[in-house]
Structure 1
């Protein structure tokens, strides 16, 4: 910080020094005396401000230096040109000086004075509680958006009144929604650090929600998400998730989902920083779970030790994990939240876990090492609509990763695990009771991914899958055929028994109907693969 502040002071010192030289040289001019006198009068229009933070900037806030540096550099360039001109007048070099030169330099100095006045007005307007300064400085005459972005970012960073910071953050969010060019400008002009600071230290839930919304608007591109994460966003998010009102936690969970979906490196960073644990805890609030089922199967000793350490360090988390009362991680407002707000929180947390788990073994392990699987199963059982769908989709992503990870299958989806049993019960229930493709497709995909985890004695799966081959939605039938193909694939230890079950349940005619209806050219290969493998079993 000291080096950065010193650099800002140097940026300010140079134009001040040049202005003093212009005044002195203009006063000593020996030609074009009237014009030199005019330039000497214009010098003081470039204010001689203290070599530090501009007036109005609070001592606790770092100076927003992007417009300051740009304007200081432009002012220095114009003053340097004026100094060159008046020195020529002093040496009486008549041949290369014209009235037009003086007029042009005079115009440049006027523009520089206006730029400096605009810059100072930003800090003055924030210090007296006003909004962002939306006037247009000459330096931004060709790009009006730049002046607005500068003004809004400055307001987010240094405004003394949180209403002004909220408005500025919301305006940045609106700007960002317009197009990617504006998003890139906000990021390039240093808008991310002030927004993260507002999210972390906001004086009200509204200010934190506004900051989170602006960051979501910016984060629809992997490159920008990387830049947001580079500003220590993950650590800020972790803190806010555990120490904020529900409304803020909803906004931050949405931010997690957005960032995790955009970039796999950031997705994994969330896992390494353990953002998953508070998300699972918030998802589990008010859910009655048997404490003996806290872990999903044979969780590793290392994971148990880590959980115990966290609980011993933070009694609040311990209470949240084991309490069946209506308690969130932390409520600054201490109020009793509405059921609708709690539902929104669960929807957002389930969606965040869905995005975090997609294709990421590390995050899937962390979800299953908590009581995440049991909680997902319970919510699938009790809830409807968006929350139930999000939980099923999250489970589908967990199962997809487990399909390619022997370790995850063994630790989280072992058939004797209470969590795995609870998950299977809900998958079978939805498969038998629901007709909605939105629910059935993630259920079928989950069962197919977990095909190798089911023991020979588990006979409740093949029949419902065969029934779904005749579902009115062709995607459901195709996914059911793909799942059946995984039960008879070459590396499935029960493939012969599963093939017999498919045959005995009249699966072959149903598979043939799918082939006839869809045509071989349009049919996905796994459907045909299932059909041919069953037919080629020696027992058939």
Structure 2
């Protein structure tokens, strides 16, 4: 007598998805084996024969569908991946119901009188089992329908299987992802758009899409350059998903960064806009993405796209006697660099001039609408901003690609979002230079044309712009570069001092913060800069800041203390009544800010050395906490 195959333990079949290394054929073999066992139990049943036969019919139907699923999974078309995640979940549920059916049928087998008395089987038990089997049949019909629909181009299936009755979103996600894997191109586009729509609704939907394997097929669709519309749909879905650290990590783990950089380098402009937005949002929400994108050299194609149609040999931004190189020369230099191995995967640089893809995209860019070109520059500037934020290495890469020249020119000639994004990029690069002496010396040397162009535009924004956020960004950048300016730098100090009197308090406070970086002890030329601030009549507007809110008072006090310590001899400080102002500061406020506890006694001491006052002794006593 042939031995029957041994069934695997129940614990191994409860949730097959926890063992992703198992092939789907192995997962399906267990319920198929159970179906055969049920068929044998039907034949051996002595009681409730009619009910047992009904169970057998439904199980036989299930077995046929399970075998059909096996055939589908093993006969996938070349280049088409089989999406088995819903089938794994449904197979686990089917196995549970088949186990229940087998246990019930075994109770109907001939046995001793005592066992028959102890074991009671009722019609209700069969109704319950038949109901479970009906659900499994419906689940299998549904999962087969999405596979057949995907394989034949029949469109997306939006019916609801019983397994997802409590959470319909899961079944929709399964259907959309199956279409991405197995559908025709139009179906894939529709599925990507539907996933983007679901992701916009809430964060839970995003996590479901990622958990059910939606990232990989979206990246594959993005990589497919046969349809720009499909690439746009994929990029839009990924962009909607990528506002969470864990999801960005999933994109990185799925080797998404090389694909994104490749598409950025060799796609029509409308695709590049979406991909640049994707780079920006991934980098914004996860700093590790900065490193990954830098490793794939995304900065060079971004700078090239940002500088498209811009000529840097404009006489308005010439740096002294030496003119700034034109963007044509910069592009030639970057193309030469990109053609070398190890400089990322920007495909447009690898196609010869007459080749189909490179030539066509070049012509498309030249003939593209101005508004599309403008949107692309906005997106690229934002991506560079996010890449530079808090990253010395990426900021250095931008300066090495002549990005400073391009950004300076756009700050000069553009307005609105593009100007703001470029200004914020410059601000981040300046902040990186403030924290890294090597970058500061390399990129912002006094005689460097690029550095001069950047400073010229920052000062122009500070003096001429009516938009507070632009002024604030420009002042922060100038403050970060404070250690690069020579002694008594009238060209920089004067405009900052003027902003101390600005009607917008945030602008005035930012001016004080920036000037504080010129006057602080960390700046080697703090004494010379402090004298310049006083000469530009910066003391009186600083005194007005002391009568504003706590934020303004704090930074106003810090700068006044620096001026007193570095240039206490100045009569302007005495005329402005600085000591009297110090006397009016609440001690509790000073106690909240350790920097003031240290600075104010030193400032009072320096003022008392040069100016006679009856109050300085008492003030010094008050400062001792």
Shift of 1:66: 1.2
1:310 equivalent to 2:338? Answer yes
Aligned residues of 1:295 and 1:369 also touching (Cα < 8 A): no
- The structure number with the bigger radius of gyration is 2
Aligned length: 522
1:348 equivalent to 2:379? Answer yes
Which 5+ residue runs of structure 1 have no aligned equivalent? Answer: 297-304, 321-326
Shift of 1:294: 6.8
Shift of 1:503: 1.2
Q: From the superposition, tell whether residues 91 and 258 of structure 1 become closer, same or farther in structure 2 (CA, over 3 Å).
A: farther
Shift of 1:312: 4.2
Among 498, 501, 524, which residue is 1:470 paired with? 501
Range with bigger deviation, 502-511 or 328-337: 328-337
Range with bigger deviation, 455-464 or 105-114: 455-464
| Separation of aligned partners in 2, 1:488 and 1:414 | 20
Alignment TM-score, normalising by the size of structure 1: 0.91
Shift of 1:457: 6.2
Among 40, 45, 57, which residue is 2:56 paired with? 40
Among 163, 166, 169, which residue is 1:142 paired with? 166
Aligned residues of 1:30 and 1:89 also touching (Cα < 8 A): yes
Deviations along 1:90-148, one digit per CA (max 9) or x if unpaired, are 24453232222222111111111111110000011222322211111111111111111
Q: From the superposition, tell whether residues 402 and 307 of structure 1 become closer, same or farther in structure 2 (CA, over 3 Å).
A: farther
SS of alignment partner, residue 158 of structure 2:
coil
Q: From the superposition, tell whether residues 50 and 514 of structure 1 become closer, same or farther in structure 2 (CA, over 3 Å).
A: closer
Alignment TM-score, normalising by the size of structure 2: 0.79
Aligned residues of 1:260 and 1:266 also touching (Cα < 8 A): yes
Larger relative contact order (CA 8 Å, sep ≥ 6)? 1
SS of alignment partner, residue 286 of structure 1:
coil
Shift of 1:267: 2.1
Q: From the superposition, tell whether residues 422 and 483 of structure 1 become closer, same or farther in structure 2 (CA, over 3 Å).
A: same
Alignment of 1:29-428 (within 5 A): 29-46=45-62, 47=65, 48-49=67-68, 51-54=70-73, 57-92=76-111, 93-94=115-116, 95-160=119-184, 162-201=185-224, 203-289=226-312, 310-312=338-340, 317=349, 330=361, 336-428=367-459
| Separation of aligned partners in 1, 2:339 and 2:203 | 43
| Separation of aligned partners in 1, 2:74 and 2:437 | 62
Aligned residues of 2:222 and 2:232 also touching (Cα < 8 A): yes
| Separation of aligned partners in 1, 2:298 and 2:337 | 16
Among 526, 535, 540, which residue is 2:564 paired with? 535
Deviations along 1:351-404, one digit per CA (max 9) or x if unpaired, are 011111111112111111111111101111111111111100111111111111
Shift of 1:6: 6.2
| Separation of aligned partners in 2, 1:268 and 1:328 | 31
Aligned residues of 1:56 and 1:127 also touching (Cα < 8 A): no
Range with bigger deviation, 113-122 or 216-225: 216-225
Which 5+ residue runs of structure 2 have no aligned equivalent? Answer: 1-18, 314-321, 328-332, 353-357, 571-625
Q: Indicate the residue corresponding to 2:584 in structure 1.
A: none
Deviations along 1:175-198, one digit per CA (max 9) or x if unpaired, are 111111111111111111111111
SS of alignment partner, residue 96 of structure 1:
coil
Cα-Cα RMSD: 2.7
Q: Indicate the residue corresponding to 2:10 in structure 1.
A: none
